[in-house]
Each structure stands twice: as structure tokens, then as C-alpha cells.
Amino acid sequence: MNKVSTLLLGVAACGLIACTPVALRATGDLGVVIEREAGSVQIVNTSKPAMLSRIEGLGDLSHASVVFSRDQRYAYVFGRDGGLSKIDLLQDKLDNRIIQAGNSIGGAISQDGKLIAVSNYTPGGVKIFSAETLEQLAEIPAVYGDDHKLSKVVGLVDVPGQRFACSLFEGNEIWLIDAKNPRQPEVKKFKDIGKQPYDALLSPDGHFYAAGLFGEKGLALLDLWQPEQGVKPILQDYGKDDEQLPVYKMPHLEGWTMAGDWLFVPAIGRHEVLVIDKRDWHLVKRIALAGQPVFVSARPDGRQIWVNFAFPDNQTVQVIDVKDFNIVKTLQPGKAVLHMEFSPRGESVWLAVRDEDRLMVFDTETFAETARLPAQKPSGIFFTDRANRIGW
């Protein structure tokens, strides 16, 4: 049979069975929303706000985070129960799931997109997996001190050079992990960096890794371009004479943000955001807020900073104009605003309003609500443009 006959037969057959066009889906339009209590995630369209599907059976998502494959097709979900789940965003299905530890706090994907690293509370340490198969390639116990105790690992991020950086909460250390040989990673340890690092920020250009300290004032700063200079303390004098307020929820320092020359940091135990000049790391301003900040997030153009709060003020969101460091808008979206995520170019922001069982979308110029979607106790919101950012 020649090629023409084969083509004609194919066309005729398609006509007989009324072939339906395949619905195409662009990965750049996608995101996932954590439904923490249901152990599920929604796959959503972010350009035309809509829920596309729900993936269930993902375990304990009470402190879940997500990274994306570099082609934006797969989402990797890190569950509190030690679960690592790989979700196919194009086929609306769970591709693979493993339980890799007893208690996990987050993870990262390597610069080349081939490795997934997970930070664990229990038993403590970092594990490295194949992004394709979730095969475990290496385990790095978070051992510290002469008596070889195990520490919780926090603040795990990917950094340039096929490396990861993380902090040891009890160990008071920062680790720089070289994963060029993923089955035999090399670890450089920076000891005595400050008491109880509890989370960390990587600057958008991958230059600086800064860990927040819970056990003492200040931050621990590592220059990744010059790691041989070691870790230096900054902001040690901030608030040392102030009355310490109750800490209802630890700030998420992955929600710290940089806009231009400024670093915006949620002040632990204070109702304010700190503005730091990243050229010399001195404190520029303390911005008074409505409550204890949790996430401090910059609009992609760096003009606005959006802030949400811990209980009992978690129904509130405030917006800071970076031009003059003033609050320009206070919103009341609903009870328990847990997370915020900007569209890739920042024209809109999505809010997870847990106790109202909904997602809300706001125009960032007019502050008008533009969309509302149902969700089951939503928490984290993650869009696929994160696949192209360092340290996310």
C-alpha cells in the first residue's frame, strides 16, 4: 500500500469515529495548590484562573513545599511525613511517590534539573534522589559535635555550581554540598555560625546565602562567590534592647525577598519588617506592621512587597511600596491567609485563605479582587515559573 492510500484510509477512519482534537496544555500556565488537610493538591491554570484537576493520596501536607522540573512538566511535592511525590502536570496523575524519611521539611532541585535533594527533621540529614526515577543516590547524615548528634536540617536551597546549601538547627552550622558526583557528594561545613538557624534565603543571583537565627539576634551570611571567607554575622545589634513578643509562627525566610538594593526581612518576635541595604548589610528602616509577619514577598518587578501574618492577625495582608517604604494598602481577604504567589510578571497575586476554603486573586495595581476559586483548606501556592529561578 502506498503512502497516499494509507493517508486516505487514515482520514476516512478518523471521519468514521469522529476524532476529537487533543486539548493542548501549556506548562507555563500551570501551578499547584496544596490542600493540606485533605492530603491533596490542585493543578490550576494561572493565566485564566481555574482548577484543572485534583491529585489525592499525598499524605501529610501540613508543611508541604514544591519544586518543578526544568521543563515545567513535573511537580515534586515534599510532605511533612517524609513523602516525596512526583506529579505529572500534563496527564493529571501521580507519577511516583516514596517515603524517604520520618519527618521532612522541604527540598530543592539541582541546577541541571537531574537531582532532587530533601532536608529532613527525622532522622535528620539530606538525601539526594534522581529526579527521573526517585532512586536514592546519596544520604548525608546531619551529624555534628564530638558526640555525633543528629540535627534537623532547614533552609535547603539549590545554588549555582550543581550545589545545595542548608543549615543545621541544633548543630549551628551551614553546609555547602557539592553534588557534581551525586553518589559521592562533597560537604563543606561552616561551624559555629550562630545559635539555631531556622530557615534561610538565597539571593536571586545565587550570590548570598543568609540564615536566620532563632537562638540569638542577627543573621548568618555566607558569600557563595567567596566561601573561603567563611560565615559572618550581620544585624547582631538589632532589637537587642526591645521587649520580645510571643512567636506564634516562625517566619518563613524563603519568603524573604530582595528588591533592588534592599533586603526585606520579617522580624522574628516583632511586628515589623526590616529593610537592609545588601551593599553593606546595615539596617535602613524598621517598617511597623499590623502583626507578626510570616511571608514577605516581592512583586517580580520589585516595586511592591506583600506581607501576611501569623495568628491572631492572619486575616490581614499589607502592601509596602518600595519607593518610600510606606504601607500603601491593607486588605482583609479572610481568615488565615497562609501563602501568596505572584503571576510570573506580577500583574496579579494569588492568596490561599485556609479557613474560608478558597483561593483569591487580586490585581496588584488596583488591589481589586479578580477571581475566587474553591479549595479544601489551601496553604502553599506554587507556579511553574519557579522552575527558572535559583533557590526556589
Instruction: Print pLDDT tens along the chain (392 aa).
Output: 454 444 444 444 444 444 555 578 999 999 999 999 999 999 999 999 999 999 999 999 988 999 999 999 999 999 999 999 999 999 999 999 999 999 998 999 999 999 999 999 999 999 999 999 999 999 999 999 999 999 999 999 999 999 999 999 999 999 999 999 999 999 999 999 999 998 898 988 899 999 988 888 888 999 999 999 999 998 887 766 666 655 545 555 565 677 778 889 888 778 999 999 988 999 999 999 999 999 999 999 999 999 999 999 999 999 999 999 999 999 999 999 999 999 999 999 999 999 999 999 999 999 999 999 999 999 999 999 999 998 87
Omega within 30 of 0 (cis) for the link into 123: yes
Residue 32 falls inside a structural domain? no
Pairwise CA distance, residues 80 & 59, whole Å: 8
* pTM (two decimals): 0.91
Residue 239 falls inside a structural domain? yes
Cα distance between the two ends of the chain: 55
Neighbouring C-beta atoms of residue 158, cutoff 10 Å? 28
Omega within 30 of 0 (cis) for the link into 49: no
**For residue 237, what pLDDT is reported?**
76
Residue 350 falls inside a structural domain? no
**For residue 36, what pLDDT is reported?**
93
Residue 368 falls inside a structural domain? no
Element (H, E) at 264: strand 262-266
- The residues pairing with 107 across neighbouring beta strands, listed in sequence order, are 118
Pairwise CA distance, residues 65 & 80, whole Å: 9
Instruction: Tell me if residue 91 falls in helix, strand or coil.
Output: coil
How many domains is the chain built from? 1
Residue 337 falls inside a structural domain? no
Residue 219 falls inside a structural domain? yes
Residue 348 falls inside a structural domain? no
The parent domain of residue 124 ranges over 100-245
Residue 74 falls inside a structural domain? no
Overall size of the chain counted in residues: 392
Pairwise CA distance, residues 122 & 271, whole Å: 32
We report the CATH number of the domain holding residue 170 as 2.130.10.10
Pairwise CA distance, residues 283 & 150, whole Å: 34
